[in-house]
Amino acid sequence: MTDIGGSEIERRVLQIMEELADDPDDADLRARLLAGEDPAVVDRVRRIIGMASLSDAMPTEWPEGLAVMFADPPERFGAFRFVAPLGSGGMGEVWRGERCDGLFDQTVAIKLIQSHLRVRAGEAFEAERRILARFEHPNIARLIDGGNTDDGRACLVMEYVDGEPLDAACASLPLAGRIALFRQMLGAVAYAHGRLVAHGDLKPGNILVDRDGRARLLDFGIARLLTDEAGAVLLSGVVTSGYASPARLAGAPPSIADDVFALGRLLEVSAGDAQGRELAAIARKATALDEEDRYASVPDLSADLDRWSRDEPLAAIPRTWLYVARKFVRRRWKGLLVSAALLGVLGYAGWSYQAAERERIEASARFDDARGTARYLLFTLYDELVAHPRTLKLRRQVAGVAQRYLDRLAGSRSTVPEVKLEAAQGLLRLANVQGSPGMASLGDGKASRRNIDTAIALLQARNDPAARAILFDALLDSAFLAQNGESDEMRAARDLASAKTMLTDGSALSNYRKSRYYLAQSSVDRWASHNDLAIRDADQAIALLRASDDFDTLKLRSKVFERKADALYYLHRHKEAMASYRAAVVPLELALARFPANIEVRRRLAHIRWNLATALMDYGDPHEALALLDSAVAEIRVVLAFEPDDDDAQRRLAMFEQSRGETLVILGQLDKGFAVMRSSADEYRWAWQRNPKDMRSLRNYAVTLGNLADEQGKHGRFGDACANWRTYLRLYDLIEKSGHLAEEDRTEGISPARKNVQQHCLSG
C-alpha cells in the first residue's frame, strides 16, 4: 500500500474508533475494520485500544471523553528507554521506562510532552520540573531526572508507582483505613503548601495507593507556584469538575483554598457511605462555596479530623451547649460512672471540693506554663531566629504555636491584671511579626489585623498607666497596618484620632511614643496629599527625638526625615527634599556601623537610598542616582540571600529595578531602561495574580506600569505608552471598586493618565 500522510492517518483512525465506540471489545469487528489498512493506521488504533485497557493509573486519569493519540517517542532519554505507554494527562503522555545503562535495574514513569503542545506548554513543563525538584516527601512521587529528548521534547523521569487510584483502594477498606489514607494526602498537600505550591487538580486519579498501603500524590503539572516562579505560564489542562472549586471552574489560577475544596471532595469519596454526620460536616466546611467559610489551611482541616478521632467538638459544627455537653459525656462516660460511685461512698460535698481544688491547681500550672511559653517564643526564640538565615519557615511555626498560647491567655477568665496585659503585649508582638508592612514579616496581614484588634479590646477594658501606654502603641500599629497594608485611610485616621486624645489626657507617654504618633500622623497627611501638615507633624516628631545611638531611635529618626522629605518632594521643594533624604540616610549608616549583622538595617538603608535616588533622577544628578540604585539593589540582594522567601524584599527589589530602568532611560539607554521597567512591572503583576485580594501588589503593579507608560510617552513611543496607560486606568478602576482609592491616586495618577490618553491615544 502506498504510504499515506499524517492527516490521512488521523482521519482513518478516527473513523475506525467511531465504529468501535459501541463495542470496543468486538475482536471480529476490529479485524474487519483494520483489514487492508495502512500499517501506520493499524499500529495507531492498537496503541489506543491497548492504552484504554491498561490497569495502571500512573500518573493521571485520562481527560474525559478524550483518546489521545501518541506520537512515537525516541528510543531513550538519558539512562532510560521508553517501554510502553501508560496514559495521558492534560498536557503530557506517560510511558513506562526502564534503566538501560547497566548500572542497576529500575522501572520509572517518563512524562513526555505531547508534540502539538510543545510550544504552548514547554514553559509549563519546565516549571513542573522546578516544582518537583523541591519535593522530598514519602507521599509525593519523586522526581528522578528531567530535560529534553533528542527530538526536543521536554520530559520528566518520575518514580514509578505500581498502585491503584484512591477511590478504588478505599473500596475494600474499613473506615479507619480509608481515613488513614486520606491523612497521608493531607500531609502531602500541606507539605506542598509549605513550599508555596498549590496542586490545583487533586482527584482520585492523581493519588495512587501501592501494595504496601502508601498513598502517593502525582502530577504537579498544573501547580501554581506562589513565589516569583509563577511568572512561568502554567497550563491548567483539564480541570476535573467534580473536585474543582467554583473559582477553578471559573478559570482562576490554583490556590490553597482550591486544594482545601478538593480535599473535602476527596474526604467524601474516601469515607463513602460510612462517613456519618461529623465527617460529612468536615467535608461540607472544606467545600463551602465561599472561600471565607472553608478551612483556612490544610492543617486546620487536619486539626478538625483529629478532633473527630478524639470525639471532641468540631470547628465544622456550631458549638452549642448541647453539642459540647454530649461530646463531653461521650468522652468521659467511664469517668462519670466512677464519679457517681465515689459520690455514693464519700458524699457529694467532700468529693466536689477535692476535685475542684485538684482541677484548680492543674489549671493554674497549665496557665503559668502558657504565659511563660508565649513570652519565650515571641520575645526570646523568635528574635534569635531572625538573626539566622533561612529561618522563615521555622519562624512561621513558632508564630503558630505562640498564637495558640496567646489565644488561651486572651480568652482566659483570670482575674490577675498582668495576664491580660501580657496577652495584649504578646498579641501586638505577634501582629508585628505576622504582617507589619515594610519589615521582614510573615506576610499574614489578616492574622496581624485580628491580633491587633484583640489586643485593643483587652487594653480598652483597663485604665491603669501601663495598659494605656500599650494601648497607645496598639492604636499606632493599627493605623500603620491600615494605611500601608490595607489601604484603609478611614481606619488609619480613626485610630490616630483615638491615639491623639491620649496625648493630652495625662497618659504617661514617653517622647519616643509621642514621636511615633507624629510620624504616623505625618504619613496619613502625606497619603491624603496634605503635605504642609505632613511636614509640620514630621518636625514635631524630630523635636521630640533626642540624639541617641539606640537602634530603635536611629530607625525612627530615619523614618521621620524620610516622611518629611516625601512631603517636600510632592510640594516641588526638591532641594529641601534631597537634604531631608540625605538626613534620613545618616542614622541608618550609623546603625549599620554599630549593628553590621542586622538585616533590617540593610533593608531600611536600601530603601532610603532608593528614595534619595528617585529625587536625584529628576532634580539632581542621574549618575549619582544610578550609583545609589546599584547600592540599594546590592543591599536588598544581601537581604534576599539571608532569607530567599522574604516577600517584602522581593517587592523592594522590583521597585528598585523599576527606578534603575527609569534612570537608564534618563541617561539615554532607552531600550535597556524600558526592558528593566517592564520586567519590574511584571514582577508586581505576578505577585498580584498570585493573590488578587492583595491591594498593595495591585497598586504597585499600577504605579510601575504607569511610570513605564509615562517614560515611553516622553520618548514618542505612543503605541506602547497608550496600551500601558489604558491598562493602568483599568487597574485603578479595580482599586476604586475595592474601596482603597486614595486622593493622591486621583491627583497624582489617574488625572494625568487620562489627559495623556486624550492627548495621544484617542485616534488609536
Give the contacts of 318 (CB within 8 A, at least 6 positions apart): none
If you ran DSSP here, which 8-state letter would residue 573 be given?
-
User: Which run of H or E residues covers position 689?
Assistant: helix 670-690
- Which one, of 587, 598, 588, 541, lies nearest residue 564 by Cα? 541
- Which one, of 436, 476, 440, 485, lies nearest residue 604 by Cα? 440
Please answer whether residues 193 and 256 qualify as being in contact, where contact means their C-beta atoms are separated by less than 8 angstroms.
yes
Give the contacts of 161 (CB within 8 A, at least 6 positions apart): 58, 59, 109, 141, 208, 210, 216, 218
Alpha-helix runs per DSSP H in 163-253: 166-171, 175-194, 246-249
Please report, as a single letter, which amino acid is at residue 449: R
> Can you say whether the dihedral through the CA atoms of 58, 62, 63, 64 is positive or negative?
negative
If you ran DSSP here, which 8-state letter would residue 140 be given?
B
- Between strands 207-210 and 76-77, the pairing is unpaired
Q: How big is the CA angle at 573 (ends 567 and 579), to the nearest 5 degrees?
A: 80
Give the contacts of 11 (CB within 8 A, at least 6 positions apart): none
Please answer whether residues 614 and 647 qualify as being in contact, where contact means their C-beta atoms are separated by less than 8 angstroms.
no
Rounded Cα–Cα distance for residues 762 and 645 (Å): 43
pLDDT value of position 4: 56
pLDDT value of position 617: 85
Please report, as a single letter, which amino acid is at residue 644: P
Please report, as a single letter, which amino acid is at residue 183: R
Q: How big is the CA angle at 611 (ends 608 and 612), to the nearest 5 degrees?
A: 90
Please answer whether residues 649 and 636 qualify as being in contact, where contact means their C-beta atoms are separated by less than 8 angstroms.
yes
pLDDT value of position 664: 93
Burial class from Cβ neighbours inside 10 Å (0-12, 13-18, 19+) for residue 313 reads buried
User: How many angstroms separate the Cα of 706 from the Cα of each of 9, 197, 711, 750?
Assistant: 53, 31, 9, 9
Cell of 190: 500541606
Please answer whether residues 300 and 315 qualify as being in contact, where contact means their C-beta atoms are separated by less than 8 angstroms.
yes
- Which one, of 749, 669, 673, 740, lies nearest residue 708 by Cα? 673
- Between strands 143-148 and 107-113, the pairing is unpaired
Give the contacts of 433 (CB within 8 A, at least 6 positions apart): 378, 382, 395, 399, 441, 442
Residue owning grid cell 493622591: 744
Rounded Cα–Cα distance for residues 612 and 569 (Å): 10
Name the phi and psi angles at 105, rounded to 5: -80, 135
CB atoms within 10 A of CB 53: 8
Please report, as a single letter, which amino acid is at residue 262: A
Q: Convert the pLDDT of each residue in 698-708 to its tens digit.
A: 888 888 899 89
> What dihedral angle (degrees, nearest 10) is formed by the CA atoms of 248, 254, 260, 266?
70
pLDDT value of position 585: 93
Reported CATH class of domain 76-315: mainly alpha
Please answer whether residues 421 and 428 qualify as being in contact, where contact means their C-beta atoms are separated by less than 8 angstroms.
no
> What dihedral angle (degrees, nearest 10) is formed by the CA atoms of 534, 538, 541, 547?
170
pLDDT value of position 62: 38
Residue owning grid cell 495623556: 756
pLDDT value of position 334: 42
Q: Where are the beta strands (DSSP E) in 235-389?
A: none
User: Which run of H or E residues covers position 579?
Assistant: helix 574-594
Strand partners, 224: 198
- The three-class DSSP label of residue 307 is helix
User: Which run of H or E residues covers position 363?
Assistant: helix 348-376
- Which one, of 567, 646, 560, 561, lies nearest residue 603 by Cα? 646
- The three-class DSSP label of residue 205 is helix
Long-range contact set of residues 607-611: C-beta below 8 Å, sequence gap at least 24: 607/438, 607/632, 607/652, 608/558, 608/562, 608/581, 608/584, 609/585, 609/635, 610/652, 610/655, 610/656, 610/659, 611/562, 611/565, 611/566, 611/581, 611/584
- The three-class DSSP label of residue 762 is coil
Q: Which residues of the chain register pLDDT less than 50?
A: 1-2, 6, 51-69, 117-121, 221-238, 329, 332-353, 355-357, 359-363, 365-366, 764
Please answer whether residues 745 and 739 qualify as being in contact, where contact means their C-beta atoms are separated by less than 8 angstroms.
no
Rounded Cα–Cα distance for residues 410 and 398 (Å): 18
Please answer whether residues 710 and 674 qualify as being in contact, where contact means their C-beta atoms are separated by less than 8 angstroms.
no
Instruction: Provide the CB-side half-sphere exposure for 664 (13 A, CA).
Output: 19
Rounded Cα–Cα distance for residues 534 and 496 (Å): 14
pLDDT value of position 696: 77
